[in-house]
Amino acid sequence: MLNEYFGKILWIDLSNGSFKEDVLPEEIYRQYLGGYGLAAKLIYDNLPAKADPLGSEAILGFFPGLLTGTVAPLSGRYMIAGKSPLTGTWGDANSGGFFGPEIKKCGYDGILIQGIAATPKYITIIDDEVKILDASEVWGLDAVETEDKLKEKHGKVQVACIGQSSEKLSLISGIVNDKGRIAARSGFGAVMGSKKLKAIVLKGNKKIQLSNKDLLLSHTKDYNNKIAATSGGMVSIFKTYGTTAGNVFSGSSGDTPIKNWAGNLKDDFPTERLNKISAGEIDKFKEKDFGCFSCPVRCGAIMKIPELNIEETHRPEYETCAAFGPLLLNDDLMSIFTLNEICNRAGLDTISAGGTVAFAIECFENGLINKDDTDGLELTWGNSQEIIKLVNMIINREGIGDILADGCKRASEKIGKGSEKYAITSLGQELGMHDSKFMSSLGLSFAFDPTPGRHTTSSIDMVAMGPLARNDLIEGFILPKNFRKMGDERFEAHMLVNSLSQFSNSLGLCMFSSMFLKYPLIELIKAATGWDISIEELIKIGLRIQTLRQAFTIREGVILAENELPGRAIGDPPFESGPHQGKTIDYKSDYQGFCEKIGWNPKNGYPLKETLIDLNLDFVIKDLY
């Protein structure tokens, strides 16, 4: 009998304006869940190897997680997936808000876009009808203006769209929903721009058919009540300040990269400067809370900033504050608000934008570029007004902004003169704003995850800040005792946390779900789908998804095992002062141990044949061997 929990998959070809629906066997969901797990399977099967990520063959997937659209706590995320034009590897990016659940309400578990439109278009899926419409009215507008205009026209809809950066094919641009929540990483804004697709507009009328609604509601209520009753700890911190709580905590502990990863707090960005961008300072502008669909924590906020004539804007996240703050030695909070706003509107990834500006400043400070190259900009550390002008130039691809709009690695290839040493990326993606010398497992994710450079992909040190450290996150999910010490137990933990990251993402869970309370995961999956699933099966699903992302990347010709991180990120040579003095992280040994555990060849990262067979990934063997 058909399991009515599952919807359909919608394929849209913009080259000829056609679309079709597919129904997948339940077995595929059971193997890949939803989100980027399901996307990995469908895109691996349908995208020719080495296709141009900005070409007609490229596939751009929008996938809600398996639990997205239900009221299961913290499950409202959706993922964008495909081949990253920034890194040439598998790519995915994640966003919250309300767009993901609306995909489900339209009756779809995934929307896959192929082809290139002849002229700018947007897609509407409203009350069961799919249309591809002329976008000339909104092309050229920023993401907030676009959403407003499309809501004016279509009523109460959910919108994911691109801003000017993506129209101009910036490889560090993303896709925006809810006027400032962005699936920012991997460069998918450029993919959407290359397809001349301005927006997807959704209004669904379908009810998700839960296997056991009462059970799902009772587990949800129980969890949400516990969140409401919790005072103190991560729950309170996130409810009050969101991720900006990290501005001072991470900045003062050595977690935040300072001065393009070469500085330290004491010498370069002392506490009095750090305090100017603290969560408390930012909180003064908060108007109300913002939370994603089905989230009892609501870590976001909407702010009003009269000094900048901004009536309504999303509070900047920690990553944005760090990338435009300590990374650039900038303590001008108003400039950080401005940069957050212009990047959100243009659809520019703030991590990559900050990393690229840091690169440009270092080039300027060291004489590799001068005022003739920058159209007169004085690109010195902390020069906030010049930084704003530069980011505007990047958004509009003006002057040197055109060179910088594809991230600092590509810019360094154009500038030359040894500038590559200032480009702090992994395979072209600027590293997330957490220092791998502070949390060494980030070295593993930054270097070797199939979406390199990301701080959100399975760092044991990060996940172990929450209940997982006490083995109290998910019933039956147990980390080895000595996971903090280098050796076999740590490698085992890397593998387990890697799997956790894959299955959580594919279920649509927010990554912060691991920070709060024990989560009734197995129960919620069962209540939603009717599956009698075990934690062992979920762990295996996670490993399957990670192995398929890895295989995709290898099929593209990228051997992640050979990737090297910039010396500044790993302490090579070791820093002479500051919290990381004398420290070099051994991320390569970590990877070898991880490969052995997961069943990949430690020399080149190729999944072993027997691993592929064991994970039901036999179809990959012909591509890798």
Residues at the contact surface with ligand SF4, assessed by CB under 6 A: 74, 96, 291-292, 295, 297-300, 510, 512
Nearer of residues 187 and 291 to ligand SF4, judged by Cβ? 291
Residue 577 Cβ, how far from ligand SF4 at the closest point, in Å? 36
Task: Supply 508's token pair.
Answer: 């649509």
Close Cβ partners of 232 (under 8 Å, ≥ 6 residues apart): none
Residue 73 Cβ, how far from ligand SF4 at the closest point, in Å? 9
- Return d(Cα 147, Cα 122) in angstroms, integer: 12
Q: Is 216 exposed, middle or buried (0-12, 13-18, 19+ CB in 10 A)?
A: buried
Crossing angle for the helix pair 333-346 and 384-396, to the nearest 10 degrees: 0
DSSP 561: G
Residue 405 Cβ, how far from ligand SF4 at the closest point, in Å? 27
DSSP 207: P
Residue 479 Cβ, how far from ligand SF4 at the closest point, in Å? 22
| SS3 call for 125 | strand
Dihedral sign, Cα of residue 49, residue 349, residue 318, residue 564 = positive
Helices assigned H by DSSP within 467-586: 488-507, 521-529, 535-555, 567-570
Residue 444 Cβ, how far from ligand SF4 at the closest point, in Å? 24
Residue 162 Cβ, how far from ligand SF4 at the closest point, in Å? 21
Residue 301 Cβ, how far from ligand SF4 at the closest point, in Å? 10
- Let me know: does 395 contact 401? Beta carbons within 8 Å: yes
CA distances to 110, 522, 523 from 531, rounded to whole Å, are 20, 9, 9
Residue 243 Cβ, how far from ligand SF4 at the closest point, in Å? 8
Task: Supply 394's token pair.
Answer: 């990047």
Nearer of residues 84 and 243 to ligand SF4, judged by Cβ? 243
Nearer of residues 115 and 291 to ligand SF4, judged by Cβ? 291
- Return d(Cα 491, Cα 483) in angstroms, integer: 8
- Return d(Cα 590, Cα 366) in angstroms, integer: 35
- Return d(Cα 387, Cα 442) in angstroms, integer: 28
Pick from 610, 603, 599: which is nearest to 588 by CA? 603
- Is the peptide bond between 602 and the residue preceding it cis, with omega within 30 degrees of 0? no
Nearer of residues 178 and 461 to ligand SF4, judged by Cβ? 178
Task: Supply 535's token pair.
Answer: 């934690």
Nearer of residues 254 and 300 to ligand SF4, judged by Cβ? 300
Chain-centroid distance, C-alpha 535? 25
Nearer of residues 239 and 597 to ligand SF4, judged by Cβ? 239
| SS3 call for 348 | strand
Close Cβ partners of 459 (under 8 Å, ≥ 6 residues apart): 434, 439, 441, 442, 444, 445, 497
Nearer of residues 244 and 441 to ligand SF4, judged by Cβ? 244
Residue 101 Cβ, how far from ligand SF4 at the closest point, in Å? 12
598 phi/psi in degrees, rounded to 5: -80, -15
Nearer of residues 319 and 492 to ligand SF4, judged by Cβ? 319
DSSP 70: B
Tell me how far apart the terminal alpha carbons of the chain are, to the nearest angstrom.
38
Nearer of residues 5 and 78 to ligand SF4, judged by Cβ? 78
Nearer of residues 91 and 300 to ligand SF4, judged by Cβ? 300
Residue 112 Cβ, how far from ligand SF4 at the closest point, in Å? 25
Nearer of residues 285 and 512 to ligand SF4, judged by Cβ? 512
Residue 241 Cβ, how far from ligand SF4 at the closest point, in Å? 11
Task: Supply 383's token pair.
Answer: 């020069």
Nearer of residues 132 and 292 to ligand SF4, judged by Cβ? 292
Residue 100 Cβ, how far from ligand SF4 at the closest point, in Å? 10
